[in-house]
Chain A
């Protein structure tokens, strides 16, 4: 058994995987372990035996592998190597067979990472903070991503909020934008204690009013906005009140319509 110690990045895994393929190491004979992570295997760390060769893969492989590499499940490195090995050993069209269990699993991880990225672009909530003496305000958000996606979402926030100073703080690292450069800093473990800004009340009022009590569909809501996200969404604080009042509101509307209908007959 050969152990490859890697950094938790696609690039680092790719370097190790190239080496492994060049040395014809089948997936059962090598493992990829992130530095700092304990390994059950007592085996030698792999020392270079042969220079890595260029490996040909279908063009779909890289975007798939880059996405899978963001997943929180560390079994992803072994899974990716399994794919790479098979693509290089008689199954060049493997990725087209989406019912293959390994391909299927890779697609699943890719999808979970994609969803996590999408939800982060949706559910980050900024609060404005104006420090005395500062000319421009700063927008702060606290968010808890499920996967290692900060590198992937940073350009989205930069391009969208280009004319704002902002920081997104998370337990896996922080991103900052100062109108010129993106920068990264160490993770923070707890949300900032930042007061709601003056516009948040308007947002809550909007959220309450745009809800139609006659169409209560809780499952549809929680399918797209699972409860785990609620604690960082200011509007989620109004949900239980909206649900409680929905039925009486609708009954009032229906009764009133019925009574008036009789009156006018």
Chain B
């Protein structure tokens, strides 16, 4: 409609559109940031050179920036909308929260992704959404974005799609054809926890959906490339919130380990429950337990790469990780009889259990000892944290006393003082 006397310049409407987009982006990025997953690695190798279009992936993934919370910015991590019919108490977007709401169109997300990608700000898109209308409807909206990027724009960058366990299996199938990674957040380790804080969520349904995804990933891998695009070549991941309930570390690691082994998850992310605007009064107004989160990641690494079992890391009598001590040192001090370990003789499995020796160093030591006897000087030159390692290992020129008489003294030496833990991260 033309209003006589009022001329709207194209610049003005352009400006209004930009302001609206800025506002939506601010709301929907804020709404997505409590999801810790950021990986853009481990997917199939490909690039626009082979196909036209834009983008590439494969290899180690790239963190394009870091925010002052120390987290990397790898993907444009946003929600399609933060309107939600669910009322998960820990969530900033729950139905009962008063946060401002917004919704992107599919086209807006596609354009933002491409515009950011062309400027080398990001590796790709992480898209999630509040549940609107129905799980199937929401899933369809998410898929529209991914399909447009992949098919219309021949986008070869990384796409991570959050899937909704209640959505139909054929929708998850379609999502996996466009996405590198798909994920479903379990959020809390037990059904009892979910019942209290996330009444719409059901652990059994979540696990069924993860099982379904695993089958699809496995089938697609068996068929190989000839059968068309791979289903979620970077696999699936999940997240658990830490500190919103009183669940102990044994329960959290137990759930993680079970999900890893049953559904071949690539990653479990641990996200310290963090104060949010308009938080539910049912939840403790706490500072995020960042040290605990850090110890859980260390324990997770021990489960996946160091051959530890959950009950070794969190035995029945100590179901929570020691905040002052890394979990490998804790285990070593509970088992002084296994030390010192002879670096010239011990098998790989045992070397991996030495506090302060990482996987890479262990591989190097195994290689070196084929050619000469390992000396303490080798450790120094490999830049091993020798002070930490010293009490636990023998070399040809270093023989520490038995550990059994002094685990307490060692604990004092290794433990991070409480004051320092306070400063952790800053």
What interface size band does chain B fall in? Answer: 35 or more
Q: Judging by beta carbons under 8 Å apart, are A205 and B118 in contact?
A: no
User: Would you call B377 an interface residue if the criterion is a C-beta within 8 Å of the partner chain's C-beta atoms?
Assistant: yes
User: Would you call B49 an interface residue if the criterion is a C-beta within 8 Å of the partner chain's C-beta atoms?
Assistant: yes
Q: Judging by beta carbons under 8 Å apart, are B381 and A207 in contact?
A: no
**Which of B70, B277, B279 meets A221, CB within 8 Å?**
B70
User: Would you call B47 an interface residue if the criterion is a C-beta within 8 Å of the partner chain's C-beta atoms?
Assistant: yes
Chain A residues with CB under 8 A of B55: 160
User: Given A98-B364, A203-B121, A233-B65, are A219 and B277 neighbors across the interface (CB < 8 Å)?
Assistant: no
Mask, B114-142, CB within 8 Å of A = 1, is 01101111000000000000000000000
Q: Judging by beta carbons under 8 Å apart, are B68 and A211 in contact?
A: yes
Q: Which of A81-96 contact B (CB under 8 A)?
A: 93, 96
Q: Complex formed: what's the CA distance from A238 to B88 in Å?
A: 32
**Which of A141, A158, A206, A221 meets B120, CB within 8 Å?**
A141
User: Would you call B62 an interface residue if the criterion is a C-beta within 8 Å of the partner chain's C-beta atoms?
Assistant: yes
Chain B residues with CB under 8 A of A250: 275, 287
User: Would you call A63 an interface residue if the criterion is a C-beta within 8 Å of the partner chain's C-beta atoms?
Assistant: no
Chain B residues with CB under 8 A of A213: 69
Chain A residues with CB under 8 A of B341: none
Q: Complex formed: what's the CA distance from A218 to B67 in Å?
A: 9
Highest count of chain A CB atoms <10 Å: which of B64, B287, B426 = B64
Q: Judging by beta carbons under 8 Å apart, are A212 and B65 in contact?
A: no
Smallest CB separation, B26 vs chain A (Å): 5
Smallest CB separation, A129 vs chain B (Å): 12
User: Given A99-B377, A159-B56, A206-B25, are A212 and B71 neighbors across the interface (CB < 8 Å)?
Assistant: yes
What interface size band does chain A fall in? Answer: 35 or more
Chain B residues with CB under 8 A of A163: 48, 52-54
User: Given A98-B368, A139-B119, A253-B279, are A205 and B26 neighbors across the interface (CB < 8 Å)?
Assistant: yes
Q: Judging by beta carbons under 8 Å apart, are B64 and A123 in contact?
A: yes
Q: Judging by beta carbons under 8 Å apart, are A210 and B67 in contact?
A: yes
Q: Judging by beta carbons under 8 Å apart, are A98 and B70 in contact?
A: no
Q: Judging by beta carbons under 8 Å apart, are A122 and B53 in contact?
A: no
Q: Complex formed: what's the CA distance from A250 to B287 in Å?
A: 9
User: Given A156-B56, A202-B25, are A216 and B426 neighbors across the interface (CB < 8 Å)?
Assistant: yes
Mask, B370-384, CB within 8 Å of A = 1, is 111000011101100
Q: Complex formed: what's the CA distance from A93 to B368 in Å?
A: 10
From B285, which residue of chain A is reached at the shortest CB distance? A257
User: Would you call B305 an interface residue if the criterion is a C-beta within 8 Å of the partner chain's C-beta atoms?
Assistant: no
Q: Judging by beta carbons under 8 Å apart, are A214 and B426 in contact?
A: no
Binding site for A on B (CB under 8 A): 18, 21-22, 25-27, 29-30, 32-34, 47-49, 52-56, 60, 62-73, 76-78, 112, 115-116, 118-121, 272, 274-279, 281, 283, 285, 287-288, 290, 364, 367-368, 370-372, 377-379, 381-382, 425-426
Known: A98-B364, A215-B425. 5 other contacts (CB 8 A): A98-B367, A214-B274, A214-B287, A215-B288, A260-B281
15 A-B residue pairs with Cβ-Cβ distance under 8 Å, sorted by A, are: A99-B368, A125-B120, A141-B120, A201-B22, A202-B18, A205-B26, A206-B25, A207-B65, A209-B29, A209-B30, A216-B426, A219-B425, A220-B70, A256-B279, A258-B285
